[in-house]
Amino acid sequence: MTDKQVPITREGKAKLEEELEELRNERRIVAERIHNAQEQGTSQNDAEYDDAKQEQGMVEGRILEIEDILRRATIIEGAPKTGRVGLGSAVDVEQDGKQHHYKIVGAPEADPTHGKISNESPVGAALIGRAVGDIVDVNVPKGVIKVKVLKVD
């Protein structure tokens, strides 16, 4: 694991802490399922045991991932007041003739379907440091797109 800081909003951190608590509760439930399947000791419970062990692995992996993110979290205190796009900024852009509204967040809380894009994504990284009126070429998997910054909050 790395010690690289992870930028995250207070809201994003709270969501991760909530998910962590839910996973810790789920951990107990899965452990009970494993214990019950072991006590039964019949071949029909082998599938249940295997499923529970697989679920346990996924739950434990996600717990470790969230704990690591929270350990390295650096809170984004809001958008910079420079008029330029930065972590925490809300930005309106024109892309392919359509307007889009994005909030630039750290990778752990990125959710493109809700307009939250990572500062590490192609569009997010290209927008960092840009100001209203700037037009930037962004390399995306389908090629190069032009994005014009319309508004920065």
Mean residue pLDDT of the chain comes to 91
| Helix locations, the chain, DSSP H | 10-40, 44-72, 122-127
The dihedrals phi and psi of 120, each to the nearest 5 degrees, come to -100, -10
Q: In sequence order, what are the residues at sequence separation of 6 or more whose Cβ sits closer than 8 angstroms to the Cβ of residue 148?
A: 93, 94, 95, 133, 134, 135, 136
> Is the pLDDT confidence value at 82 over 90?
no
| Alpha-carbon torsion angle 123, 129, 131, 134, nearest 10 | -50
Mean pLDDT of 98-111: 94
Show the tokens assigned to 133.
Answer: 């009126």
Helix 10-40 to helix 44-72 angle (10° resolution) is: 160
Cα–chain center distance at 139: 21
- Which residue segments constitute the domains of the chain, with CATH numbers given? 6-75 (1.10.287.180), 90-152 (3.10.50.30)
pTM attached to this predicted model: 0.80
47 versus 90: which is more confidently predicted? 90
pLDDT-derived band at 32 (thresholds 50, 70, 90) equals very high
Mean pLDDT of 78-98: 88
**Per-residue pLDDT, 44:** 60
Mean pLDDT of 31-36: 89
Residues 12, 106 contacting (CB under 8 angstroms): yes
**Per-residue pLDDT, 70:** 96
**Per-residue pLDDT, 127:** 96
